[in-house]
Amino acid sequence: MKINAVVIIFLLLAVTATAQQNNATLFSVDAFIQQVKSYHPVAKQANILVDKADAQLMASRGNFDPTFAMDATRKTFDGKNYYYHTNPELKIPTRIGADIKAGLENNGGAYMNPELSTGKTSYLGIEMPLLKGLVMDKRRAALQQAKIFQSQSNQEKIQVINNLLFDAYTAYWQWAGNYQLYMLYTQYQQVATARFRLVQIAYANGDRAAMDTLEAYTQVLNFQMLQADAMQKINDAGIELSNYLWQENDVPYQVPQEYKPDTLQFTMAVMPQPIDELVTKAAIENPALRSYTLKLDALEVERKLKLQSLLPVLNAKANLLNKDYYVLKGVNAAFVENNYKWGIDFKLPLFLREGRGDYKTAKLKIQETNYAFAAKRWEVENKIRSYYNQFIQVNAQIEITKNAYTGLKGLLRQEELKLSNGESSLFMVNSRENKLIETAQKLIELRIKYQKSYYAILWSAGLLR
C-alpha cells in the first residue's frame, strides 16, 4: 500500500502538469513589453510629443524663409493720371541678422512723389543691425529654442516610456507571482486529494480511524480555499495586465485564459549594475535630469536675447540703384558713388528700465532652475540608492526563505515516512505541510517584490526604454 500511494500521487501530478502545459500558451515578459511599446496609446502619445516639437522647429525655420511682396497703387481722378507705383520685392533673411532685399520699381504720373524715381528702376540692398540684434534677435532665439525643445521632447518621450514600462513590468510580475501561487496550491491540493483517497481506502480496510479521513478531507478543503483565492488574484492581476494590452488597430483586449506568464524567468536572479555606476549613468541619461539641462540651455538663449535689450538700436541700410531692371549692370566705383541709397535708424531708451528688468528676470529664471535641478538630481540619486538597498535586502530574504523551504520540505518528507511506518499522524503531516506552504507563499511574494524592486532601480535611474 505504501508503494501504491507514492505511485498514485506522482502519476496524478505528472498527468495534471502535462495537461496544463499542453493547454497553456507562454506569454513572455519580452513579448508583453514589446507589445506595450508598439501599441499602447500612451507610447503613441509620447511619439506625438516629438512630432509636435518637429512641427514647431519647422515653424521657427519659417522666420528665415524668403518672402515675396508686391506693392502696386494707382490713382486717376477727373481724367488725370495722378500717379502709379509698382514695387515687387524679394526679401531674404539671414542667420547673421541681416536682411537682403532686391526689388523693382516702376513709377510715374503727373503728381508723383518727387522722392521716387520715375520710370523703371531696380535695387539690391542690405539692412543690418549693428548693436541691438547683432549677436541675437527674436528669430534666431526662436530657432535655437525650437531645436532645444525638440531635444527636450525626446527626453519627455523617454520619461513617459520609462514610467509606462515600470507600471507594465509591475503588473506582469504581479500576474506571474499570482499564477505561480495558484500552481503551488493546485499541486498540493492534488497531493492532499490523493492522500485523502488513500486514507479512505485504508479506513475501508480497517487500517485507519475515521478521524484520519476527516483530517485528510479538512486539508483538501483548506487547499481548495487557497486555490480559489489564488484564482481570484490571478483574475484581478490579469485585468490589471489587460490595461497594457492593445492591438495594432488601437483596440484593447483582455488577457486570453490560455496565456501563462514566464514563471521560469520569474524565479531567475537578476542583478543590476553597481550602485555607483547607476548613479553616474543616471546623471547623464535620466530624462528628467536631461530635461533640466535642456531647459537651462533654452533659458541661456533667452538671457542672451534679453541682454540685447540693454543695447541701443542702430540699424544700417544700404541699397545699390540702377535704371531699368539691371541693378548690377556697370557696377564700378563711380557707379557706387552716384547710384545708392543708405541710412541708419537709431533709438536709445534713456533709463533702460525695460531692458534691465527683462535681463534680470532672465537671470533669476536660470538661478531658479539651477536650484530645482540640484534638488531633482539629489532626489533621483536617493531614489536609486533606496531601491537598490531594498533590492539587496529582498535578495537576502529570498536566500533565507529558500533555505527554510528546503529544510521544511525535508521535515515533511520525514514526517510522511514516519506516517507510513505508523510512527506519526495525519495531523503532524498536515502541520508540516501547512508550514511548508506558508513558507513557499512567502518565497513567491518575495520574488514578486524582488522583480519589482529591480525594475524600480532602472525606473528611478530613467533607464527603462
430-451 confidence digits (pLDDT tens):
999 999 999 999 999 999 999 9
Between strands 25-27 and 259-261, the pairing is: parallel
**Residue 414, CB half-sphere, CA atoms under 13 Å: how many?**
7
Q: Return the CATH number of 2-39+140-300+363-461, one of 1.10.3470.10, 1.20.1600.10, 1.10.10.10, 1.10.3430.10.
A: 1.20.1600.10
Helix 29-39 to helix 41-61 angle (10° resolution) is 40
pLDDT attached to residue 270: 83
Residue 221: which residues within 8 A CB-CB, separation 6 or more? none
Residue 176 has pLDDT above 70, yes or no: yes
Residue 138: which residues within 8 A CB-CB, separation 6 or more? 305
- Residue 402 and residue 443 in contact, taking contact as beta carbons nearer than 8 Å: yes
Q: What is the pLDDT of residues 351-362, one digit of tens each?
A: 889 999 999 999
- Provide the residue count of the chain: 465
Instruction: Measure Cα distances from 292 to 47, 123, 188, 287, 379 in Å.
Output: 20, 48, 54, 9, 14
Across 64-78, 144-158, 265-279, least confident range: 265-279
Q: What is the mean pLDDT of the chain?
A: 89
- Residue 311 and residue 131 in contact, taking contact as beta carbons nearer than 8 Å: yes
pLDDT attached to residue 450: 95
pLDDT attached to residue 406: 94
Residue 62 has pLDDT above 50, yes or no: yes
Domain locations in the chain as residue ranges: 2-39+140-300+363-461, 67-94+98-131+316-347
Residue 5 has pLDDT above 60, yes or no: no
pLDDT attached to residue 179: 95
End-to-end alpha-carbon separation of the chain, Å? 58
pLDDT attached to residue 328: 67
Going by the DSSP 8-state scheme, the letter that residue 115 receives in this structure is T
Residue 14 has pLDDT above 50, yes or no: no
- Residue 63 and residue 139 in contact, taking contact as beta carbons nearer than 8 Å: yes
